[in-house]
Amino acid sequence: MPVDIQGMMHLVQHISEVEKMHVAIKNSARGALLAGVVTFAGGLVGGPPGIAVGGAFGGLLGAWMTSGQFKPVPQILMELPPNQQLLLSNDVNNIIQNLDWTDVVQLTSLVMGNAVLKQQVVATICSFFMNQLNAEVQYQD
């Protein structure tokens, strides 16, 4: 049965909630660059002890700069523009196209009850975020 985009997004949101998925937007390069620059400056100013102090301070500054960059996947899914929702919906639909279901609730139950299908949908979500949004999906502990 063909599914509308909103129904497919409901399925993806449910799975991402259950899996406690969140996304780290790739800003770690800026934090690492900042840590390196501060370490280098500390080395120039203070020699070997300056490298140690600059490394510690730069690392903390880089960590602070990139903190708060994590968002829950369901929140991001709700904010996606329609064209990206369509892309994700089509990718997930390719996985579930052979299932026999009548509504989104039944579809969600079928996918959640089948570990292989669920893992394929999770992998599709991760791939979508990496390829389309340049973001890495992580799992909350």
The helix (H) or strand (E) run that includes residue 22 is strand 21-25
Reply yes or no on whether the pLDDT at 101 is more than 90.
Answer: no
pTM: 0.68
pLDDT at position 52 is 86
Say yes or no: 104 and 35 in one domain.
no
CB 111 within 8 A of CB 11: yes
Say yes or no: 74 and 126 in one domain.
yes
pLDDT at position 81 is 92
Say yes or no: 140 and 92 in one domain.
yes
pLDDT confidence tier of residue 44, bands split at 50, 70 and 90: confident
What percentage of residues in the chain have a pLDDT greater than 70? 89
Say yes or no: 63 and 80 in one domain.
no
Where in the sequence is the domain holding 122, given as residue range(s)? Answer: 1-25+70-141
Say yes or no: 51 and 74 in one domain.
no
CB 138 within 8 A of CB 21: yes
For residue 24, give the 3-state DSSP assignment: strand
Say yes or no: 87 and 138 in one domain.
yes
Here the contacts of 61-64 (C-beta below 8 Å, separation 24 or greater) are 61/34, 61/35, 62/30, 62/31, 62/32, 62/33, 62/34, 62/35, 63/31
Say yes or no: 98 and 129 in one domain.
yes
Say yes or no: 58 and 86 in one domain.
no
Say yes or no: 99 and 122 in one domain.
yes
What mean pLDDT do residues 74-80 have? Answer: 90
